[in-house]
Amino acid sequence: MDMVEVLERLNYQVTYNPAQTCCGQPAFNAGHREEAHSVASCFLEAFKEAECIVCPSGSCVAMVRKFFPQVFQSSKELEIAKSLESKVFEFTEFLVREGKVNELSGQAEGKVAFHNSCHAMRELRLIDEPWAVLRKIEGCQWVQPEVEPTCCGFGGLFSVKFSPISQTMAKTRLEQFVDCGADTLVTNDPGCLQQLKTEASSKSLGIDILHLSQFLNRALNHPGVRS
């Protein structure tokens, strides 16, 4: 809902189709393309009339933009699937593309770090976009680990099938943020969010973990912001 509120603040009319379910990525990434196809078909049905689709997850966007052509290969829905490629955007990608970043002004406190999701970073090449948005938030200190960014270990069904590996990956990633002194960690994908939050709470780490849209909405509504 935070993303909706930010978009509305920027004067967009947001609609939500209650019939929507999932893009089919869990099955696609497991190699089960028939199941992915059946669920992705519902996605096409729900979104084929949309003017523009904004999503708070680079992973889902990558699925629609990059992998739908494979899912719908030699299917009569291929044309509709391809028409969505240029209409679907990750949240920060949308804000940057629409030139709305300069209209953002927000406040936050503490030492804040950002974890970019692998699919946003490597499938969609969204590296500068999240930062263009985050840099608009003042009052907090931005800290970042010195090491190369690594995966949080979520990986969808990977985290279920190989949970000890997945958990240790989360531990290693979180350790990097704790080591650089962050008290708040912002991430742009619900998958990473869930993975990192679960690991942090099981280890009782004193670090607040938020989705970028949550962090942004809070910062925009911060009492310290001059209107």
Partner 1 sequence: MSQLQSFLDNSENKALDEIHRKKIIKAVTSYDQTVIGMKSEQFKDWAHSREVAGKIKQATLDRLPDYLEEFESKIQARGAQVLWAEDAQAARSFIDEIIARHKVKQVVKSKSMTTEEIDLNEHLEEQDIEVFESDLGELIVQLAGEKPYHIVTPAMHKSKEEIAELFNEKLNSDPDSTAEELTMTARAFLRNAYVTSQIGITGANFLIADEGAVVMIENEGNGRLSMACPPVHVVVAGIEKMLPRLRDLPLFLPLLSTSGTGQEVTCYNSIIKGPKGEEEVDGPEHMYVILLDNGRSELFQDEEFQQALRCIRCGACLNACPVYRTIGGHSYDTTYQGPIGSVITPHLRDLASFGHLAQASSLCGACTDVCPVKIDLHHLLLENRWRSKKAGLSGIKWELILKIWAWVFKSRSRLNGMSKFIQLTQGLVRMLMPKSLREKVPRRAKKSFGELWKERQQ
Give the interface with partner 1 as residue ranges (CB under 8 A): 1, 16, 18-22, 24, 26-27, 29-33, 35-36, 38-39, 41-42, 118-119, 121-123, 147-148, 150-151, 153-156, 158-159, 161-169, 172-173, 194, 197-198, 201-202
Q: At what angle do helices 33-47 and 78-85 cross, to 10 degrees?
A: 70
- Of 82 and 161, CB closest to partner 1: 161
- Of 141 and 201, CB closest to partner 1: 201
**How many CB atoms within 10 Å of residue 45?**
14
CA distance 28 to 53: 21
CA distance 85 to 173: 31
Residue 222: CB minimum distance to partner 1, A: 22
- Of 2 and 129, CB closest to partner 1: 2
Residue 203: CB minimum distance to partner 1, A: 9
Residue 38: CB minimum distance to partner 1, A: 5
- Of 29 and 105, CB closest to partner 1: 29
Residue type, 60: C
Residue 149: CB minimum distance to partner 1, A: 9
Which residues, 6+ apart, have CB-to-CB distance to 83 below 8 Å?
A: 48
Residue 4: CB minimum distance to partner 1, A: 8
- Of 46 and 225, CB closest to partner 1: 46
φ, ψ for residue 17, nearest 5 deg: -90, 110
Write out the two tokens for 12: 């967009």
CA distance 84 to 60: 12
- Of 108 and 151, CB closest to partner 1: 151
Residue 82: CB minimum distance to partner 1, A: 19
**Phi/psi zone of residue 57: left (φ > 0), alpha (ψ -120 to 50 degrees), beta?**
beta
